[in-house]
Structure 1
Amino acid sequence: MSDSTQAPYTLRDGLNVAIYDWPLPMRQRPRAAVLIVHGLGEHAWRYDTVAQRLNEWGFFVRAYDQRGHGESGGARGVLPDEDTLLDDLEEMVDDTRRHICQAWACPLVLLGHSMGGLVAATFVQRHVAPVDALVLSSPALDTGMTAFQKRLTRLLYRWAPDLTVSNGLDANGISHDPAQVAAYRSDKLVHDRISARLAQFIDSNGPRVVAAAPTWAVPTLLMYAGADRLVRPEGSRAFAAVAPSALVHSRCFDGLFHEIFNETDPSPVYAELRAWLDDRAPA
């Protein structure tokens, strides 16, 4: 366990979300603040190991449980509005800039995984608020939904947007490490709920991010699993193929499953992340 802190944060609509901070030792200036956005059905504390590693490298780390997830309020997997997760992230970015980045005169890096990667990428694509760099881990740019599933999602979105069903994610696809799969399955804060509105957000915004790739303007590291069974790696490949190479660096980890930081040997993933961060936020 690392020396992290947990605190409630009240959003504009009165909902309380849980924020986790992994600060550096007193008076040590962080190289940057890294804000982590977790994936569908999970929660921020699952990134404790990632946060500890970033701490060791000299980064302040913050993560939060998105609404309807983890220790945060809200019905599981339900959104009051299709863009609510973007609005919530804007508040997290603004608060992190005011209390961390401005205090230490350091840049802000977004790190999003899976659905969180889509939320972070959409946030950047729409220019909701400025960020200095973006890291995407197996982002949900292509869910692989069939034509029938897409039609059903649109129908439910119109008539029953808050109706939740199982997200259908197979835990065996998160990692080759049986211990990671067992921990995921036994985690009481992990859930499998997804509403029609949330499904519509994911399905509609992935293609929009890919379409915006040629005009991408934020330094981005895209890391994705070549053997991903939860989201299609073709979405990341399509983004990388047309994004400006001067700003977007991509790396496919052949053979890895969805949670690249939780694989049996994540050292190549961490090495890629560290090398990229060293170039963007020198020690």
Structure 2
Amino acid sequence: MEKRIAHTLATHNATRLAVLELPPLYYTQPRAVVQIIHGAMEYKERYLPLATYLQESGYAVVLSDNRGHGHSVSADDPFGLMKSVDQLVADQVQITNWIKEHYPQSEVVIYGHSMGSLIARLYLQRHDHLLSKLIMTGTPNYNVLAPFGMRLIKLVQRVKKDDEVSNLVARVCGNQINGYSWLSYNQDNIACVRQDPMMIKRYPLGSMKTLVEADLRLKDPAQWQCRQPHLPILNLVGANDHQITGGKKGIADTVARLKQSGYHNIQTILMPHMKHEVLFEKDHRKVYQAMNKFLAE
């Protein structure tokens, strides 16, 4: 049995955030509420298999489409365009507050994949007191080319609009990775991604600027307040996800930056024979189980 409730949350402009709630199946009070932040180019429904698994394990789950993705679009936030780092983070804080109104006795856990883990880390900088745990998969490491990428974007903005694609910026900033083989070993998943009309194929210049700015903020110590140094954090990545996480060196750098920001309760799990989209590999149930174990601890 499965229960889903669709919601739309009003924002400061014409965009309404598309939210999907999976309430607990068997109990009035869930073990916790898991708030899922999806990755780049995608949308919330790709996470329904995980959400259903967590729902059956006693959790409530809340999924949402980031602005410019899925159904969180409008004339103010057209499909594919992310205008503001601050707005992406503020949207997730708004969703957390909505969760706390509906589940006032429950703890909130954020799970972010890839770009979602980037948003989740920026969320931590000022709002970690709202959470009880954080889970990340496909976790991008800090890109040393980010400062150069930002300078390049500002130059290109002199001749291109934010809703236009720049091949040069895409190549420099990593949004033009050839093919889809880096996503997963599961070829069925790659075929689905290729054919899915809800997947964004290329980010325009404005979205690239937002991603690079988010990356730059990871390195800025002034951004971090760290009210919860004991916050449990799980970094669960594919052992062969070299393209996005940076491999062992990149993963170590990601963990080191979190520790420098004040967090010390960090656990990293490398999933063998998995690439970037660990939730879509053939052995994805092992990922589900690792998450469930971390949630239950």
Name the Cα RMSD after superposition.
2.8
Contact 2:183–2:276 (CA<8 Å) still a contact in 1? yes
2:86 to 78, 83, 86: 83
SS at 1:35 equivalent = strand
Partners of 1:145 and 1:111 in 2: CA distance:
26
Is residue 146–residue 212 contact of structure 2 (8 Å, CA) maintained in 1? no
Aligned partner letter, 1:168: Q
Quick check: 157-166 or 11-20, which moved more? Answer: 157-166
From 287, 291, 295, the counterpart of 1:269: 287
1:227 corresponds to 2:230: no
- Deviation per residue, 1:86-139 (Å, 9 max, x gap): 111121111111112x0xx11000000010110011110233762221111112
Q: Choose which of 171, 176, 193 in structure 2 pairs with 1:168.
A: 176
TM, length-normalised to structure 2: 0.81
Verify the 8 A CA contact 2:142 2:218 in the aligned structure 1.
no
**Once the 2 structures are TM-superposed, how far is the Cα of residue 40 of structure 1 from its aligned partner?**
0.8
Show the 5 A alignment for 1:46-85. 46-73=46-73, 74-85=77-88
Q: CA deviation at 1:219?
A: 1.9
Give distance in 1, aligned partners of 2:219 and 2:252.
9
Give the structure 1 partner of residue 215 of structure 2: 206
Q: In the alignment, is residue 107 of structure 1 matched against residue 122 of structure 2? A: no
Distance 1:8 1:195 in 2: 26
Report if aligned partners of 1:143, 1:232 keep a CA contact under 8 Å in 2: no
Identity score, percent: 24
Q: Is the 8 A contact 2:147 2:216 kept in 1?
A: no
| Corresponding residue of 1:139 | 139
Q: Which of 141-150 and 260-269 deviates more?
A: 141-150
Structure 1's unaligned 5+ residue stretches are none
Show CA shifts across 1:198-224 (max 9, x none).
323323433543665996723211112
Q: Counterparts of 1:99 and 1:273 in 2: how far apart (Å)?
A: 24
- Change beyond 3 A, Cα 1:227–1:10: same
Against the structure 1 CA distance between its residues 174 and 145, is the aligned structure 2 distance closer, same or farther, given a 3 Å change threshold?
farther
Deviates more, 1:207-216 or 1:225-234: 207-216
Structure 1 pair 64–270 and aligned structure 2 pair: CA distance change class (3 A): same
